[in-house]
Structure 1
Amino acid sequence: MNMSPHAALSAADALALRYGAEQAPTHGPWNEHIALLLSHRSIRGYRPNLLPEGTLETLIAAAQSAATSSNLQTWSVIAVTDPAKKAELAKLANNQKHIEQCPLFLVWVADVSRNQRLGAQERVELETMPYQETFLVAVIDAALAAQNAVVAAESLGLSTVYIGALRNHPQQVAKVVGLPQGAFGVFGMCIGYAAPTAANEVKPRLPQAVVLHHEIYDTAGEPEHRAAYDHLMAAFSARNEMTADTWTKRVINRMSKIAAMSGRDKMVAALHAMGFPLH
């Protein structure tokens, strides 16, 4: 399998695709790995082709090579290939059909249950377990591991997309994949070969001047940079038939009404029920 053809672009071309020609930063050191990172796209359409034998294990080896706080390794992942189970998860995630299409669906789990079992077996009370910091560490661990898996998958010519909508119904997701108390599905991930009809254009990001600060947080020029980015995103949205044509509209659509959270406003109560007291 080969890397994405976008990964073979020059530094200048890759940066122009990611930021737009007018906002592209001056490139510095460059290699194929950086080019691969800049070529990332979320793909929402998959061919049914199975992955080569051993692919899952390779991706998990890459995931386990990510940083983990104090080597606590407070994450797990559930590999789902059963069509019926994928259909259940798709229904819980706003009926996203690519969950059913992809040959491999991963549920990434913030998991303190394993260390809870360790404490019980060793007859030691782990006093830090109920605290928000422990939960936060587990979520970060899961995210770092998952992103390593994404990079590994894309280096093999596979496509991916994160599925945050699993958090719409976290307790139901836990039932589908049999999570114990102290385990929470942070997000899902489709992995497979992109369908020919799947959009594959690199989506522009905010200019570096908006997210990169030197010495202190500085908002000077932010409205102007946002306006330029909205113009860039409007053109991208038109090419890709997206409804929210600017970044400003997307932020407002997703953050101005509680209904846009699709039930995630009740997350704290769900986490309490799933074994995360969050003191």
Structure 2
Amino acid sequence: MTDVLSTVLQEQLHKRYGAQAPVAGGVANPTLELLLRHRTVRRFLPGEISESELAVIVAAAQSASTSANFQFTSVVVVDDPALRARLAELAGGQQLINDAAVFLVWLADWSRNIELARANGHTIEATEYLDSALSSVIDVTLSAQNAATAAESLGYGITFVGALRNKIDAVIEALGLPEHTFPVYGLAIGIPDPADPADIKPRYGQSVVVHRNTYTPPAAEDLADYLDRINTYYREQELPEDWVKNRLAGRISTKESLHGRQGIRNTFNRQGFPLK
């Protein structure tokens, strides 16, 4: 069994890294196999997730590490079709929000802890600083990733939907969110459509992202290697293949490329996060 897993892991590593993939050797188990085969699923078949499955997925989310046990994560389960359609519209017309078996909106949530502190006679000055908001976003991210992995372990596919932040104020209104909460992203979970061509997507080589003791700028040939692999992937997916032009530059070249997210600081402020 270990030999079979090692072979599978090596194939997955090759898809991630190409010829520079690390050698798995005898390091193999089902958890690693699950993590390494992750792919984004954007096409779902009709079907539902049981309430017991959803409860265990949320339990996995709540089992993630959390800063000082503050448990900043809240999740809105969106099962009303009209509300899903509204969120899909706000996220740029993403049909997968409607098609997924379940759609979850993950919130960075200071509200209940602030209420507890105030109810017990404490001030909340420290919550006004950027680190407090950052801590809550980190917490919700750890939780949501746990949920995604749990869902994949049950055979479901997942897609994170950051485009909810494009029209963040409208999302807050649609979900009726209170002060001191902030929607970070959505998570679509459902039955993967076998016809969905998406596969394991290439990542930067470890020589680019791993540093020993001090930061080392990436070598030009290592960056070129990644561009060759990611452009080949998109070409095989019959998508525009110039990753730098069509994706990187498309997100960072101008503030308009943020599609409305350039105003998020103002939304944080209105939600009770001064970000000092």
User: Same fold by TM-score, threshold 0.5 exceeded?
Assistant: yes
Amino acid at match of 1:235: T
2:186 is aligned to 188
Partner Cα distance (1:244, 1:184) in 2? 34
Structure with higher helix content: 2
Tell me how many residue pairs correspond in the alignment: 271
Partner Cα distance (1:52, 1:24) in 2? 38
1:262 is aligned to 259
Residue 141 of structure 1: CA displacement?
0.3
Q: Which runs of 5+ in 1 are unaligned?
A: 1-6
What is the correspondence of 1:216-235 to structure 2 with a 5 Å cutoff?
A: 216-221=214-219, 223-235=220-232
Partner Cα distance (1:103, 1:26) in 2? 37
What is the correspondence of 1:81-160 to structure 2 with a 5 Å cutoff?
A: 81-160=79-158
- Corresponding residue to 1:55 among 50, 53, 63: 53
Q: Secondary structure at the match of 2:188?
A: strand
Partner Cα distance (1:189, 1:64) in 2? 15
Partner Cα distance (1:188, 1:165) in 2? 8
Residue 101 of structure 1: CA displacement?
0.6
> Percent same amino acid at aligned positions?
39
Rate the CA distance shift 1:149–1:9 in 2: closer, same or farther, 3 A: farther
1:65 is aligned to 63
Residue 239 of structure 1: CA displacement?
1.0
Partner Cα distance (1:218, 1:50) in 2? 47
- Corresponding residue to 2:234 among 234, 237, 240: 237
2:199 is aligned to 201
1:230/1:248 contact within 8 Å kept: no
1:51/1:192 contact within 8 Å kept: yes
Partner Cα distance (2:7, 2:55) in 1? 29
Q: Which runs of 5+ in 2 are unaligned?
A: none
Q: Secondary structure at the match of 2:230?
A: helix
Could you tell me the TM-score, scaled by structure 1's length?
0.93
What RMSD over aligned residues (CA atoms) do the two structures have, in Å? Answer: 1.5
- Structure 1: 4+ residue segments shifted above 6 A: none
